[in-house]
Amino acid sequence: MTPNQVTATRIAAAFAAVALFTFFGDVLATDIAAVLLTVAAIALDGVDGYIARTRGLATPLGAQLDILGDRVVENLFFTFFAVAGLVSLWLPVLFFARGTLIDLLRGLASRAGRSGFGERSMLETWWGRALVASRASRAAYAILKCVCFCYLGLLLPVARWHTDWLDLNVRHALLLVGQILAAAAAVFCVVRAVPVVWEGRRYLGAVEGKLPARGATAVGGIR
């Protein structure tokens, strides 16, 4: 498989997992299948990059598709769990806003010739690369999201159950664990965004410096 095909496969796996959680959330077999698909959607995130590096198939388009895959997967799951009432609606909003800002800065950096995770990365500080580009950070973030998605998916039947036979305190405790996992993923998401915003601010300044002064007439008389 090519890296782009792997990216498409993990997006499809994520949609399939959410579909199983949605329509067959009370069946143990489909819950297990959905969890396996969730794990596959997260694990394949590292496979496409590995294939691209080892086979010399890395391309600018592939890098953008990889980032798109990340956005689709995490936004899909968090939006679904927010609609299901397991997490706050503000959680997917946070991920949407964070992803939009980071992609904007990466796009501006790419236009300046800075992209990827190597020597030409937009991250020049050691702490920025450690938080964002290191294998430890990326693996920890992927594992945290995987655990969070799988737990919340398995928690869906609990959220639907009536509390006449399930102790209310136990039910609340189970739901609280899911919210803690989601909050931890959100915190990790924001922390990993800090270096990108800090080092990417200079590209915003570079773009602003090329804009005409306020009130000036642009080419063709259009203001």
Domain ranges of the chain: 3-211
Query: What's the pLDDT tens digit per position in 58-69?
Result: 776 777 788 888
Alpha helices in 28-167 (DSSP H): 28-54, 60-83, 90-111, 126-132, 135-160
pTM higher than the cut 0.95: no
Tokens 């965004």 label which residue?
A: 193
The yes/no answer on whether domain 3-211 falls in CATH 1.20.120 is yes
Query: What's the pLDDT tens digit per position in 168-215?
Result: 777 788 889 999 999 999 999 999 999 989 888 887 766 555 544 444
Given a contact cutoff of 8 angstroms between Cβ atoms, the answer to whether 76 and 49 are in contact is no
